[in-house]
Amino acid sequence: MKRAIMASFANRLAIPDLRWMPDEGFSLGRIRIELLSGLTVALALVPEAVAFAFVAGVNPLVGLYAAFLVGLITALIGGRPGMISGATGALAVVMVALVAQHGVEYLFATVVLMGLIQVLAGVMQWGKFIRLVPHPVMLGFVNGLAIVIFLAQMGQFKVPGSMTNTGHGVSGGEWLSGLPLYTMLGLVGLTMAVIWVMPRITRIVPAPLAGIAVVAALVIGFGLDVPRVGDLASIKGGLPQFHIPMVPLSWEMLQIILPYSVILAAIGLIESLLTLNLVGEMTGKRGGASQECIAQGLANTVTGFFGGMGGCAMIGQSMINVKSGGRTRIAGIAAALFLLIFILFAAPLIEQIPLAALVGVMFMVVIGTFAWNSLTILRKVPLTDAFVILLVTVVTVMEDLAVAVVVGVIVSALAYAWNNARRIHGKTYLTPEGAKVYQVQGPLFFGSAEGFSEMFDPKNDPSVVIVDFADSRVVDQSALQAIEAVAAKYEAEGKHIQLRHLSRDCHRLLNKAGHLMVDSDDDPDYALAVNYSVKTGILGGH
């Protein structure tokens, strides 16, 4: 028994195929594509990490260290090669209140606990529940996130240095106007044009990297006065240092960080697992949800001890990587290492890159991410699905991803329950012996229990009544209670009721009441999802 338990636990912790080798095998061309893809991603990570650090109210290096550490660890052991992780806005907007009230050390402690919670989720294999997210929710998530990425770039069209950090995020700022605005728009358009044309000319260099290189060379060569990466903040720094969060080890401290840790862990896993599914659809890979949970958890735990703000999967950068040809772990590792090189050695050069080039790259990501086909299928899919797509899109933009996904799943589940509740109905006929047969059709569960009860007429029915469940399925405790209630009504009238084609588990439990005669000669042998005692009302699971 002990050996079996240890084997089961080992299987939960086991990391499956790490997929270092692409399907077509390694070659110099493949390695070149992976490295260049990683370089492109690293360039796009810099302004994002700095901006999200500002949103959270921490030093830019805190965001850059998070992008490096989380990106490196998840690239090494994550559930999907090709995914990119780092500091994200979804987490930053939650962190800002904690930092404003308690300081950055509490943030580091929160990130450590957040990581431990995510590791637990991976060990318990909770990542598999992401399969419960319906396709309309996925479409709404993709569309909403594309809009969020687009809106996030609007801050780059403001005068550098004009925005202020209020302690609750970065706000304000003067918009560019006149020639600076037209120059910025022209460079953004040029970047997008290069990215669009480049694959038609050659695929030796990833199109996003070519766009950045062309526009950067143009700006630096002609000395154009446009916003650059260095206008956001200096990215120069040293290696991240091991640092135990300086917080008191007390119950009060745990009460402060635990709620934030749970929320951050949930948001991080939802965004990471949805990104995992999206990348999986593009690369033809499946699985890895629990492994991704563990990888995200280990990455955040380590990051919290090295002065980083934590992070999760980044759909924008993941799309850049996949569309640039990144298919293995080399691209993600290269992106993280290039980012560290920028921080240590190449800060003066990277700070000269025009923001317009990076905005152009992200705009192309928006175009590629948005599910344009969802606009045409809105009129073809059921009204409820169309509503869910629009609802999740709006909530993602107005609130955040986690809230949007939860709302979408709840609405979809309620719609499904309502549709199934309306399916319950019955056909009746009399046997030669004078018994009345009710043929129940449709699932019997909490939503249809009332409709099931209304089918019967205990006062006017004959003395023998047969309820046939051949075309039905008893699902939950509410269904069992509804059956008991109907049986009690017939017993009160002094009449005899028989249940046929009922689950063996179900009628065995119902027989405990002592007043049900169940015909089980032709019952199917299928298992019920719950145990219910009519005497104690105790519900239990298999």
Q: What is the arithmetic mean of pLDDT over 358-363?
A: 91
> Which pLDDT band holds residue 330 (cuts at 50, 70, 90)?
very high
Maximum C-alpha span of the chain: 99
Burial string for 425-436 (b: 16+ CB within 10 Å, else e) reads: ebeeeeeeeebb
Measured distance CA(154)–CA(145) in Å, rounded? 15
The predicted pLDDT at position 28 comes to 86
The predicted pLDDT at position 198 comes to 92
What is the average pLDDT value for the chain, to the nearest integer?
Answer: 84
For 143-175, the pLDDT digits (tens) are 988 898 888 888 889 887 655 554 444 555 788
For 36-80, the pLDDT digits (tens) are 999 999 998 998 888 888 888 899 999 999 999 999 999 999 988
CB half-sphere exposure, 427, CA atoms < 13 A: 8
Measured distance CA(130)–CA(137) in Å, rounded? 11
**What is this structure's pTM?**
0.76
Q: What is the arithmetic mean of pLDDT over 402-418?
A: 89
Residue 136 near residue 280 (C-beta atoms within 8 A): no
For 267-287, the pLDDT digits (tens) are 899 889 988 988 887 777 777
- Encode 311-377 in three state secondary structure: CEECHHHHHHHHHCCCCCHHHHHHHHHHHHHHHHCCHHHHCCCEHHHHHHHHHHHHHHHCCCHHHHH
Reply yes or no on whether the pLDDT at 252 is more than 90.
yes
For 90-132, the pLDDT digits (tens) are 888 889 889 999 999 999 999 999 999 999 999 999 888 888 8
In this structure, of 186-200, 248-262, 265-279, 301-315, the range with the lowest mean pLDDT score is 265-279
Reply yes or no on whether the pLDDT at 6 is more than 50.
no
Range among 15-24, 75-84, 185-194 with highest mean pLDDT value: 185-194
The predicted pLDDT at position 243 comes to 92
Closest CA to 299 of 288, 308, 286, 290: 308
The predicted pLDDT at position 8 comes to 43
Measured distance CA(84)–CA(314) in Å, rounded? 6
What's the alpha-carbon Rg for the chain, to the nearest Å? Answer: 29
The predicted pLDDT at position 20 comes to 52
* Tokens 């943030």, residue located: 107
Q: Which residues pair with 10 in a beta bridge?
A: none
Residue 530 near residue 540 (C-beta atoms within 8 A): yes
The predicted pLDDT at position 94 comes to 86
- Encode 250-301 in three state secondary structure: CHHHHHHHHHHHHHHHHHHHHHHHHHHHHHHHHHCCCCCHHHHHHHHHHHHH
The predicted pLDDT at position 526 comes to 39
CB atoms within 10 A of CB 522: 9
Q: What is the arithmetic mean of pLDDT over 407-425?
A: 89
> Which pLDDT band holds residue 24 (cuts at 50, 70, 90)?
low
Measured at the alpha carbon of residue 87, what is the angle toward residues 83 and 90, in degrees to the nearest 5?
95
Where are the CATH 3.30.750.24 domain residues in the chain?
422-541
Measured distance CA(54)–CA(108) in Å, rounded? 16
For 477-489, the pLDDT digits (tens) are 788 888 888 988 9
Measured distance CA(249)–CA(193) in Å, rounded? 55
Range among 458-467, 470-479, 498-507 with highest mean pLDDT value: 458-467
Q: What is the arithmetic mean of pLDDT over 366-391?
A: 89
For 206-251, the pLDDT digits (tens) are 899 999 999 999 999 999 999 999 988 889 999 999 999 999 999 9
State in words which class domain 422-541 has: alpha beta
